[in-house]
Amino acid sequence: MAWRRFRHNRGAMAGLVVLGVIVLIVLVAPLFVPYTPTAVDPNHVREGLSAAHWLGTDDTGRDTLARLLAGGQVSLLVGFAAAASALVIGTTLGIVSGRAGGWLDLLITRITELFMAIPSILVVIVLAGVVGPSIGLLITLIALFTWPSCCRIARSVVLKVRELEYVQAAHAAGTVWWRILLRHLLPNVLPQVMVSGTLLVAIAILSEASLSYLGLGVTPPAASWGNMLMEVRSFGKLASQPWLWVPPGVAISLTTLSVVFIGDGLRDALDPKAASS
């Protein structure tokens, strides 16, 4: 039923479609582009849009479209992986915290608060720069600072559900703990966490873009949407070769926007009373 409400939200459906298209293109299109993202071609340097290179080339003749697609794969991978990790860790800890209570709950809550108190962006910048750029590290770092919000949500849902009569009845009747988990806790926790999860994807994609832009994330010659923007730091290039930086920027924005719309739609679908617009 929530799905039906979701379907009526035009923004959310549009977001879903656009995201789907982006993911599809990024995965499939490289098969059709005749260039690899790192192929250097000194004969076609700094060219604008043309039939041979749909999005032009850069300083060393690398095809922009190929880089855009490859970059998309990396950026989306980091984004989804980081968000998924944060979701899994956060939800698990949240459920454990809510169910267990006592010192374990207290410990996990304190840790969550600690992580939320640290100014994440600054720390991520320092850490990413200090330890050196790598995709695995990037995913870990981003996940490290986004799991607390999931944990909080999961925990509060568990605390609420735990008090419900039918759950207490099931417990009294002697149902195995994992059965309660599966049939009662998870179905209530998952939807709420998913909403937060979509926001996490948006945050993760933007974080990866920012870090790569600063040179602390994915480094050239590998492509990522963020570092494609980094390579256009000088004002001259910015002005004269817009095809180098506009496509990746638009790609990041469009992807993030779709994800945000989906998240909004999910939230409104799950709790129509909280619909904001």
Partner 1 sequence: MLRYLVTRVGTMLGILVVVSIGLFSLIHAAPGDPVSAMISPEELGNSEAFVKARTHELGLDRPVVEQYVAWLGRAIQGDLGESFRNNGRPVLGLLLERLGPTMELVFTAVIGSVVFSLALGVFAASRKNRPADYLVSGGTLLFMSVPAFFLGMLAMYLFAFQLQLLPSTGMASPGDGGAADLASHLVLPAGVLAVAETAKLTRYVRAGMLEELGADYVRTALAKGASLRRARRHALRNTLLPLITLLVVGIPELLGGTVVVEILFSWPGMGQLTIDAITYHDYPLIIGFGVLATILVLLSNFLGDFLYRLADPRVRLR
User: Interface with partner 1 by CB under 8 A: which residues?
Assistant: 11, 117-122, 125-127, 129-132, 202, 206, 209-210, 213-216, 226, 229, 232-233, 235, 238-239, 242, 245-246, 249, 252-253, 256-257, 260-261, 264, 276-277
User: CB-wise, 166 or 235, nearer to partner 1?
Assistant: 235
Residue 42 near residue 26 (C-beta atoms within 8 A):
no
Q: What's the min distance (Å) between Cβ of 35 and partner 1?
A: 24
How far apart are alpha carbons 237 and 239 in whole angstroms?
Answer: 5
User: CB-wise, 35 or 261, nearer to partner 1?
Assistant: 261
Taking CA 257 as the corner, what is the angle to CA 89 and CA 137, rounded to the nearest 5 degrees? 40
How far apart are alpha carbons 243 and 246 in whole angstroms?
Answer: 6
User: CB-wise, 185 or 228, nearer to partner 1?
Assistant: 228
Q: What's the min distance (Å) between Cβ of 254 and partner 1?
A: 8
Q: What's the min distance (Å) between Cβ of 106 and partner 1?
A: 18
Q: What's the min distance (Å) between Cβ of 73 and partner 1?
A: 18
Q: Residue 117 is which amino acid?
A: A
User: CB-wise, 80 or 245, nearer to partner 1?
Assistant: 245
Taking CA 123 as the corner, what is the angle to CA 214 and CA 77, rounded to the nearest 5 degrees? 60
Taking CA 215 as the corner, what is the angle to CA 213 and CA 219, rounded to the nearest 5 degrees? 100
Residue 259 near residue 251 (C-beta atoms within 8 A):
no
User: CB-wise, 27 or 121, nearer to partner 1?
Assistant: 121
Q: What's the min distance (Å) between Cβ of 190 and partner 1?
A: 24
Segment (H or E) for 202: helix 186-214
